[in-house]
Structures are given as structure tokens and as C-alpha cells.
Amino acid sequence: MRLEVVEGDIAALEVDALANAANDHLWMGAGVAGALKRAGGEEIEREAVAKGPIPLGTAVATGAGRLKAEHVLHGAVMGQDLQTSPALVSRTTKSCLELADELGARSLALPAFGTGVGGFPLGECAEIMVGEARGYEPRSLERIVFAVFGDEARRAFEAAL
């Protein structure tokens, strides 16, 4: 499985599945969720909310609306308090990898879980997420893209790789 880092808009990527750093009720507000909703359409949020709430650390799939991807995977990396933890970043990453495989996705874009409104440290996030991806044994996944925003995030994920 190939791992790479891309700095830029996750919503513009051409991959089979895009992960959303979601809250457990799957409301799509700012950050990655907002970008996906703006680019893909309100139907992504409507479909997601209908599947929530979900347990922290788990993920559900929806359609991708107008996005180039087939699926949006909503990983509940935080609750209504918008706080996360190393364990939640780890479990959510693994849940998204497993769900992408279940859907037969060959490529998956993952954002830096919890580092936006959740305030989780970029370096720690990168180490956890890259570690989960490296330790994962895929069935269909061939490519994982860590889609990050900003130079600091790019450097953190490149260092972890």
C-alpha cells in the first residue's frame, strides 16, 4: 500500500473515498466537513445525519454528491464537546481504513483527524495516523493520501512518513 501526503483541498482529490473528521452526530460544520459539504452538496450531510449518532471512534459511509469520490466516510473523532484523544484518533483512522476496504475502495484520502476545531497536536496526529496506516493489512486499498491543510501539517505528516 502506497502512503503519500498532499497539501490542499481534500474535496478536490480524485480518490474512491474521502474521510471526514466528524462529530458523533455527523453534523457538518466547519473545517473538512464544511469543505466537503460546500463542494459535494447538502445531500452528504442529510445522508450522514440520518445515520447518526454513532459511537466515537467508528465510521459510516455516505454518497459523495458532486465530489469526484464515490464515498465519504464520516469518522467520529470527537463528540459534541469537540474534544478528541490519541485513542480516538487511532480508532477513527482504523475504522475509516476498514470501512474503505469493506466498500472495495482502492484509494482513500484522510484528513489530519482532530487537528482543526479539536485542537489535537499535528505531530502526534501524524504519528498515530501514519502508524495505523502502516500497520493495516488492506484487502482492496492500494493508496492512502494524507490530505492536509497548511505547511505545518504537511511537514508533520512527511516527517511521520
Neighbouring CB atoms inside 10 A of 42's CB total: 11
pLDDT tens per residue, range 42-87: 999 999 999 999 999 999 999 999 999 999 999 999 998 888 999 9
Q: May I ask the CATH class of domain 2-160? A: alpha beta
Report the C-alpha gap between 75 and 92 in whole angstroms. 6
Specify the pTM.
Answer: 0.96
pLDDT tens per residue, range 82-130: 889 999 999 999 999 999 999 999 999 999 999 988 889 999 999 999 9
Percentage, residues of the chain above pLDDT 90: 91
Report the C-alpha gap between 159 and 130 in whole angstroms. 10
What grid cell was written down for 134? 502502516
First to last CA, the chain: 13
Q: Are 74 and 31 in contact (CB under 8 A)?
A: no
- For residue 29, is pLDDT > 90? no
